[in-house]
Amino acid sequence: MTADDLIRSARAAGRSSLDESAGKRLLAQFGIAVPSSVMVAPDEPAGPKLTGLRAPFVVKVVSPDILHKSDAGGVRVGITDSTQVDAAIRAMCAHPVIAKARLDGFLVEEMAPPGEELVVGGLKDPQFGPLVMVGLGGIFVEVMQDVAFRIAPIERIDAHEMLSELKAAALLDGARGRAPVCREALIDVLLRVGGAGGLLLRLHDDIAEADLNPVIVSERGAVAVDARFILTPEGGK
């Protein structure tokens, strides 16, 4: 499916956002790395679907009623085999929040290599049009509001500057005994979101808000492990 098809089919289903699986397919269309994944139905044995995936896995609930999956008990990381995947899905189905939600199914995906968690986002400013943002995940964004914004489209030099502006930028250079993260991979993600050919500009009419939270950036690359796109109410061109 092309990006336009993904958006069209969400709208046809009466949705105002893309589910995580569709969101990640959209990112892949723009060359952004996402974990290999499969969707599993609540009552389906996961085993046969996992043959193309490499453990360890992550299991996540996919529901239009659940925005923050972890808060709802809907994310389990570090799962090593299909028996544990089935058990995680059963346990999630029994969770009170998940039990009463509408379910699209469960996303089973590969774990990204460990690294720093960043947030890359996009939104539409009524005055300036599409804006692209980046920040370090967790408390840096939520509590310290340590983020950098630019009007899209950005160029490579802008993406570099955005990262240098972050107060927590030192974490990218190998704090906590870690190797420095691959800044170029992160900059590529920023350009694929907010650059001239990036998704914010190309899908300007349809995407009201983009939230890649987190993008896990390791020594070798950057993988968007969560993706949320809110569609414009009007839609289309």
* Cβ 74 to Mg ion shortest distance, Å: 11
- Decide if 98 contacts 110 (C-beta within 8 A): no
Among 121, 195, 214, 221, binds ligand ADP (CB under 6 A): 214
Q: Which is nearer to Mg ion, 188 or 211 (CB)?
A: 211
Q: Which of residues 108-147 bind ligand ADP (CB under 6 A)?
A: 109, 111-112, 117
Among 3, 10, 18, 58, binds ligand ADP (CB under 6 A): 58
- Decide if 6 contacts 212 (C-beta within 8 A): no
Burial of 55 per CB tally in 10 Å (0-12, 13-18, 19+): middle
Q: What is the rounded CA–CA span in Å between residue 74 and residue 62?
A: 8
Q: Is 179 helix (H, G, I), strand (E, B) or coil?
A: coil
* Cβ 82 to ligand ADP shortest distance, Å: 17
Q: Which is nearer to ligand ADP, 77 or 169 (CB)?
A: 77
Q: What is the rounded CA–CA span in Å between residue 154 and residue 12?
A: 32
- Decide if 190 contacts 93 (C-beta within 8 A): no
* Cβ 213 to Mg ion shortest distance, Å: 4
* Cβ 128 to ligand ADP shortest distance, Å: 27
- Decide if 64 contacts 19 (C-beta within 8 A): yes
Q: Which is nearer to ligand ADP, 185 or 201 (CB)?
A: 185
Q: Which is nearer to Mg ion, 201 or 222 (CB)?
A: 222
Q: Which is nearer to ligand ADP, 49 or 202 (CB)?
A: 49
Place of tokens 């947030």: 119
Binding interface with Mg ion (CB under 5 A): 213, 226
Size of the site for ligand ADP (CB under 6 A): 17
Among 24, 25, 60, 192, binds ligand ADP (CB under 6 A): 60
Q: Largest Cα–Cα distance in the chain?
A: 52
